[in-house]
Amino acid sequence: MKHRYLGNSGLKVSEICFGNWLTHGSQVENETAAKCVRTALDVGITSFDTADVYANTVAEQVLGKALKNERRESIEIFTKVYWPTGPKGPNDCGLSRKHIMESINGSLKRLKTDYVDLYQAHRYDHDTPLEETMQAFADVVHSGKALYIGVSEWDAAQIRTAHDLARSLGFQLVSNQPQYSMLWRVIEEWVVPTSVELGISQICWSPVAQGVLSGKYLPGRPAPEGSRATDALGGANTIKRHLNDEVLTAVQRLAPIAEELDLTMAQLAVAWVLQNPNVAAAIIGASKPKQIVENAAASGVVLPGDVLARIDTVLGEVVVRNPMLTAQNSPKARPC
């Protein structure tokens, strides 16, 4: 397992990060979830990503229990704040000082740790002054409850303003967590260049496009039983944008490329994300330990330039590149 520096910080994270969105506390039984964490550790993954909103705080509990006996100094734990938790009262979401301070305390308790390595703003809060949010994050860092601060799905202008405020308040903004894959490249035009300039890394979610790039979804065929596309708990909604015959036909044209490289299609997808030098880590999820073993093998894979060009050619117009879509990911009003 290779490791990369997170932004301009001295923190190294594993190229493959294990995330438990849509799995722990919902799709996957706790015993299986613990086996997945154990497998992640066995293949060299040291970075683990979660959020308080996942399974309404249960995912953090499951991860905390699974990591309880690990040497804390040897792992990196990431979590997030923004989306509604608890009974979803008026202050149970957003990036107000009140919600951030209460949320970090709750997350630490559930994760069974004194600090998290990375605390991330899960979306941009249009209803809270950014100065208030960044001051609260500064206090979280200065109190030792988080070592670094990141954001998720913020646009380039938001990242730049937050970066400048962080510096003035004595801490670093080191990362952004966007969706990024062969099929979804909206960060490339604006977010990545701004991040490179400011010393901020990407920690990318959905590198396999919710499983579409694994090749298991076939054009003109129903989704496989038990797949994310059949998950009524939320998985089906996240994958549906890719489930059309044009996209699925293009994805099947990646199979010969993966075969020539002796990679699975999922490994090719994860490796593709890691070719971007601004990417510190690709987040993989799993409902079975064997999926972790497979995807972790993408670490260290180098894709030649001609292979990257072939991938662009076979995917053609199905790739989504519109940089304006990043700004649409944060609700214009608080979701609680």
Kindly list the catalytic residues.
54
With contact defined as beta carbons under 8 Å apart, do 98 and 91 qualify?
yes
Phi and psi (nearest 5°) for 241?
A: -65, -25
With contact defined as beta carbons under 8 Å apart, do 283 and 207 qualify?
yes
| Residue for token pair 């880590």 | 281
Classify the phi-psi angles of 87: left when phi > 0, otherwise alpha if psi is within -120 to 50, otherwise beta: alpha
Distance CA 150, CA 195 (A): 12
Neighbour-count burial of 13, counting CB atoms closer than 10 A to its CB (0-12 exposed, 13-18 middle, 19+ buried): buried
CB atoms within 10 A of CB 240: 11
With contact defined as beta carbons under 8 Å apart, do 334 and 96 qualify?
no
